[in-house]
Amino acid sequence: MDGSINKRPYNFRITILDKYIIRKFMGTYFFAILIIIGIVIIFDISEKIDDFVDKEAPLRAIIVDYYMNFIPYFMNMFSPLFVFISVIFFTSKLAGHSEIIAMLSGGISFNRIMYPYILSALFIALLSLVLNWFVIPPANKNRLAFEEQYVKTRTEYNRNIHYQVEPDTYVYIESYNSWNNTAIRFTLESFQGNQLLSKLSAETARWDSITGRWRLNGYNIRRFSDTAHTVVWGRQLDTLIDITGADLVRRKESVEQFNLRQLNKFIDTLRMRGDANIKFALIQKNSRLAIPFSSFILTIMGVALSSRKRRGGIGLNIGIGIALSFSYILFLRFSEMFVHADVLPPAIALWIPNILYALIAFVLYRLAPK
């Protein structure tokens, strides 16, 4: 049946039917989250139980510091899956009971039927944005700190470190031991254009987190000019450099604990330093915008796929929904490889899945009322 027949003028006031669809959508969405998160937590506990026991993690820390902060992180990461399955499930039930046909026969256009779905998707998208920028970053800070202490093996050494700490100022470190905050074979070079002005070298450099300074041992400073080359040697020197010990052992997951302002500042710092970890920061920033937007795309696609009766019933629709939602998530992860391989910038690569699935959703939506 063509949704354009007997079409009433649009009325964007929320009706009883709208409330019914919104209640079904949101109820199914949050119920799916509770069920799947419960299953995931059970599997996660079984995987990490040995680490918890071996490192004597307190029960309160496991529950409050880890799993309470793990839930919003996981919920947001798989939000596209929850949205798609929820829409497929309850819309298939509406179609199975001929409620969609009754709405169209009553003069409600297919576009108007979509209205409560879009409102629900808008709420989920806004919720995802709030979680991404305000809730998950501080939660991730606690979660990552717990993992560092009780789950992951501490990384003690980082080798061949190159940093641009200021414009025309570069640091090279052969190796850094995070256990005692000591850098081996520390070099600081200052340039003016392509000309080397000075080079500070030290056998070791130790980071003092209290004073915020580096203590250099067995150092020499070479200064270069057009007419002279001077060298100064010394046993010990305390100096202030715009780099900390934490910067040298920062995990790529650390970007997950920054809010928008902190993340933008961190990206600017990494760009100035020429740090390869900037890719992880840019991926994180663009993912936080792309994933919430997917709520609209997958909602439209889900309604278009499940709004008519199928011989296979709900089971077939759910199977299609799971396959498509997982393919979206996998494609989103695969698109990150374009960034790491320097094929595409993050602002384009992370939006390719949304663009592709938006085209698919548009085609399905055009065909759905017919």
Give DSSP secondary structure letters for 305-317. HHSS--TTHHHHH
In this structure, the answer to whether residues 128 and 180 fall within a common structural domain is no
Q: Is residue 262 part of a domain?
A: no
In this structure, the answer to whether residues 41 and 146 fall within a common structural domain is yes
List 175's β-bridge partners, or say none: 159, 184
Cβ atoms of 199 and 191 within 8 Å: the answer is no
Query: Which pLDDT belongs to residue 326?
Result: 80
In this structure, the answer to whether residues 168 and 308 fall within a common structural domain is no
Q: Is residue 1 part of a domain?
A: no
34, two tokens: 């509770």
CA angle 209-177-162, nearest 5°? Answer: 90
Beta strand segments in the chain, E? 157-166, 169-177, 182-192, 195-208, 213-224, 229-239
Domain count, the chain: 2
- Tens-digit pLDDT profile for the chain (370 aa)? 444 444 455 567 888 999 999 999 999 999 989 998 999 999 999 999 998 998 889 999 999 999 999 999 888 888 888 898 899 888 888 888 888 888 888 888 888 889 999 999 999 999 999 999 889 999 998 998 898 888 876 555 678 888 888 878 889 999 888 788 899 999 999 998 888 999 999 999 999 988 889 999 999 999 998 778 899 999 999 988 888 887 777 666 678 888 888 899 888 888 877 776 788 889 989 989 888 999 999 999 889 888 877 665 667 777 777 788 788 888 888 888 888 888 889 889 999 999 999 998 898 888 876 6
Q: Is residue 10 part of a domain?
A: no
In this structure, the answer to whether residues 356 and 329 fall within a common structural domain is yes
Give the residue from 230, 250, 270 where a domain finishes. Answer: 250
In this structure, the answer to whether residues 194 and 70 fall within a common structural domain is no
Query: Which pLDDT belongs to residue 99?
Result: 83
Within a 10 A sphere around the Cβ of 329, how many other Cβ atoms? 18
In this structure, the answer to whether residues 72 and 128 fall within a common structural domain is yes
Q: Is residue 324 part of a domain?
A: yes
Residues belonging to the chain: 370
Q: Is residue 103 part of a domain?
A: yes
Strand-by-strand arrangement of the 157-166 sheet: 157-166, 169-177, 182-192, 195-208, 213-224, 229-239
- Domain coverage including residue 30: 16-152+278-367
Query: Which pLDDT belongs to residue 2?
Result: 46
Distances (CA, A) of 39 to 32, 35, 295, 366: 11, 6, 23, 37
In this structure, the answer to whether residues 325 and 241 fall within a common structural domain is no
In this structure, the answer to whether residues 322 and 223 fall within a common structural domain is no
Q: 104 Cβ partners below 8 Å, 6+ apart? A: 1, 3, 5, 110, 113, 369
Sign of the CA dihedral 257, 152, 163, 209?
positive
Cβ atoms of 157 and 179 within 8 Å: the answer is no
Give the residue from 250, 267, 300 where a domain finishes. Answer: 250
Cβ atoms of 217 and 206 within 8 Å: the answer is yes
88, two tokens: 């497929």
At 322, give phi and psi (nearest 5°): -65, -45
Query: Which pLDDT belongs to residue 66?
Result: 94
Give the residue from 211, 230, 250 where a domain finishes. Answer: 250
In this structure, the answer to whether residues 32 and 175 fall within a common structural domain is no
